[in-house]
Structure 1
Amino acid sequence: MREAFQQAEVIERIRQQLSSVIDPEIGRGIVEMGLIYLIEAGPAGDVHIMMTTTTKGCPASAFLADAVRACAGSVIGVMNVDVELTYDPPWNPSMMAP
């Protein structure tokens, strides 16, 4: 039970850190834009993040994935970060926070 609570805390801290990552083309945060689909944290500090970009051919894809990896990796307790880019489901503007 405590382990699940700690993982939830780590996930929330990661989400807060990722809020500082700004999409360079749109100028809004990637969390606010709905580009982060999933954050999973394992008990050994392994983190898996599934994200997307606004388009499949987005020229900022590598930049954004690197920024996500760096931000998540800066969270205490995180040892390894795997970032997976996916386009299923495809992103659309309705995924953005109001």
Structure 2
Amino acid sequence: MFGGRFLVWTANEVIPLERKMVATLRDVPARIVPAGTPITIPEGSFITITQSLGGNYTVTVNGNMARIDGTDTDALGFEKQELVFTGNDGEDIQEAQVWQALETIFDPEIPVNVVSLGLIYSVVVDQQNKTVDIKMTLTAPGCGMGPVLVGDIEYRVAKVPNVKTVNVDLVFDPAWHRDMMSDEAKLETGMFY
């Protein structure tokens, strides 16, 4: 927050966003921060937008903080983030599309996606059961936003064609360290030294 304004991070720029109250235009799924518990915010609810990062919005509703996915922001009166997957050919889950979805998920506190941060350790696709198993970590074991980030991953990866179930295993061995970040992420965060 700078001078009472919040920053919106988009793919190519940072846009200031004033704290703004809106009424939801339809029922919208959200997750309570930091627990990650799914809720539905009813149509016509007044919410206050407090942050936008990576296309997702953090809002306050009825005294609680919640996170709304960018694919549902039409419920707030904004342009909805469309996930367009390339290379879909049939009924199989394409692992490349899973990685594509993961690259659209940003750490709630850092304007870098989870893949570039090195938080995703593995992706395993089970074609028979239409399941994706993801092993991931956090930048710090005590990170209070862990459940929210896991929820973001489950929600977005479930939008990949042919995926029925997403399982996220949060692990801390091996422990995350900055060398796991891509060079671009190190430059973005000022950790390139």
Q: TM-score, normalised by structure 1?
A: 0.88
Structure-2 residue corresponding to 1:86: 171
* Counterpart residue identity of residue 86, structure 1: V
Structure-2 residue corresponding to 1:15: 99
Task: Find the residue that maps to 1:40 and give its secondary structure.
Answer: strand
Q: How does 1:6-85 map to 2 (within 5 A)?
A: 6=92, 10-43=94-127, 44-85=129-170
The structure whose RCO (Cα within 8 Å, separation 6+) is larger is 1
* Separation in structure 2 between the aligned mates of residue 66 and residue 24 of structure 1, nearest angstrom: 11
Deviations, residues 41-73 of structure 1 (Å, cap 9, x unaligned): 101211100000000010110011000001110
* Separation in structure 2 between the aligned mates of residue 15 and residue 60 of structure 1, nearest angstrom: 21
* Separation in structure 2 between the aligned mates of residue 61 and residue 40 of structure 1, nearest angstrom: 21
* Separation in structure 1 between the aligned mates of residue 108 and residue 150 of structure 2, nearest angstrom: 13
RMSD value over aligned CA atoms?
A: 1.0
Q: TM-score, normalised by structure 2?
A: 0.46
* Separation in structure 2 between the aligned mates of residue 59 and residue 38 of structure 1, nearest angstrom: 22
Task: Find the residue that maps to 1:50 and give its secondary structure.
Answer: strand
Q: Which has the higher helix share?
A: 1
- Consecutive unaligned residues in structure 1, runs of 5 or more: 1-5
Consecutive aligned runs of 4 or more in structure 1 exceeding 3 Å deviation: none
1:11, distance to aligned residue in structure 2 (A): 1.4
Task: Find the residue that maps to 2:142 and give its secondary structure.
Answer: coil
Task: Find the residue that maps to 1:20 and give its secondary structure.
Answer: coil
- Consecutive unaligned residues in structure 2, runs of 5 or more: 1-91, 184-193
Structure-2 residue corresponding to 1:3: none
Task: Find the residue that maps to 1:24 and give its secondary structure.
Answer: coil
* Separation in structure 2 between the aligned mates of residue 74 and residue 39 of structure 1, nearest angstrom: 15
Q: Which has the higher strand share?
A: 2
Task: Find the residue that maps to 1:56 and give its secondary structure.
Answer: coil
Task: Find the residue that maps to 2:100 and give its secondary structure.
Answer: helix
* Separation in structure 1 between the aligned mates of residue 98 and residue 156 of structure 2, nearest angstrom: 7
* Separation in structure 1 between the aligned mates of residue 152 and residue 117 of structure 2, nearest angstrom: 15
